[in-house]
Amino acid sequence: MFLKYSKRSKQFCVNGEESIFNSKVILVRAKRVLKSMWVERGRRTGEKTKMEKVDLAFTMAYTSGMNNVVPEFPKNPSPFAIRGRIRSFKYAFAGVWTMLKTQHNAWIHAMATAAIAVLGAFFGLSDWEWCCLVLAVMAVWTAEALNTALELLADVASPEFHPLVKQAKDVAAGAVLIAAIGSAVIGGLVLGPYVLRFLREALF
């Protein structure tokens, strides 16, 4: 089996029906050809070709199941557009809604957030106290969102059980636990004196 590249069709042709992406040997050869092509292209155009981009483009083509197609460089980012920014907010809110629908811990975070907001408004906290509580709450929500995203990606990458995937999920869950403990400490330091004073006045 041999590898031949056609500049006209921009495709790799192999001797047989087997795709080049089904053989490790052909993969290595194809990668070398791609690197030499893009290095030569950089010499002609004056652009600097980074091998990281070559590896990224080739990996994207391989993992997407493309057959006999030469991967291209990642395109330049599109110009700034208000409609695109609005669409990005839509995707972000969709991600938050997915987290709230699928993660039971997110429900606990939501109830804790509501309780902190009610207590803070009831006791009339100062500005710096509100800042401390908001930062603590946002730290927990951010950790939970990252944990959810990692779990979803891990489930796609490894549908079957894998010990390393389990360890990755455990570490991400541990990050949420650390953020929650830190937030609880901050909440106790800020709201604790107000709650104790209120109970002392109510009981005695």
Angle, helices 104-123 vs 127-157, to 10°: value is 180
CA distance 124 to 115: 14
Q: Where are the beta strands (DSSP E) in the chain?
A: 3-6, 11-14
Q: Of these residues, 17, 72, 144, 151, which one is catalytic?
A: 144
Q: Report the first-to-last Cα separation within the chain, whole angstroms.
A: 91
CA distance 181 to 176: 9
- 144 classed as catalytic: yes
The closest of 200, 88, 185, 100 to 139, measured between CA atoms, is 185
User: Catalytic amino acids?
Assistant: 144
